[in-house]
Amino acid sequence: MLIREAHNQDIDQLVAIEELCYDQPWLREVFEEEIERDDDAGVGIVAEDEGLVVGFLTGMAVVDEFYLHNLAVHPDFRGRGIGRGLLEAAESLCNQRDFRSILLEVREDNEAARQLYLDLGFEAAGTRKDYYGPGQNAYMYIKHLGSK
């Protein structure tokens, strides 16, 4: 398993995984916006197995904080540490760039993702009511980095 930076050529595979993972998948344009940006604010990381992208993480740096926007692993490749590996790679990048924290939202009924974030030291930081639609609330999670 190789974890590496995402490139423009990966976007078709990211869109395919996105559509397998979510009822309301992101459109291709959203991936293009984060991965093809000219500045270094957009972050895209992929997990590759035998030349195929099997998972990804994307987000955006805002000053010294990183907003994790998306993390998904192909259903056939879950439970093998890929989500954890992607998140650890993002955290390592954030530490290299001396970021203060990583922030994200997760659906309150998404047990797998919430357990992953808690395992990696994220803390609940509040809720957003109806964030994903009526009756579909989000938890906000944060991980403080380094000594900040």
Q: Residue 51: left if φ>0, alpha if ψ -120 to 50, beta else—which one?
A: left
Is residue 43 a contact point for ligand COA (CB under 6 A)?
no
Closest C-alpha among 4, 112, 100, 104 to residue 49? 4
Q: Residue 127: left if φ>0, alpha if ψ -120 to 50, beta else—which one?
A: beta
Is residue 145 a contact point for ligand COA (CB under 6 A)?
no
Instruction: Give the residue with the Cβ less far from ligand COA, 28 or 148.
Output: 28
Is residue 102 a contact point for ligand COA (CB under 6 A)?
no
Q: Which of 45, 46, 71, 145 binds ligand COA (CB under 6 A)?
A: 71
Is residue 116 a contact point for ligand COA (CB under 6 A)?
yes
Is residue 115 a contact point for ligand COA (CB under 6 A)?
yes
* Contact between 28 and 36 (Cβ < 8 Å): no
Residues 1-20 that bind ligand COA (CB under 6 A): none
Instruction: Give the residue with the Cβ less far from ligand COA, 5 or 19.
Output: 19
* Contact between 110 and 67 (Cβ < 8 Å): no
Q: Which of 100, 110, 132, 137 binds ligand COA (CB under 6 A)?
A: 110
Is residue 76 a contact point for ligand COA (CB under 6 A)?
no
Q: Which of 4, 84, 97, 128 binds ligand COA (CB under 6 A)?
A: 84
Where do contacts with ligand COA occur on this chain (CB under 6 A)?
21, 71-73, 78-84, 106, 110-113, 115-116, 119
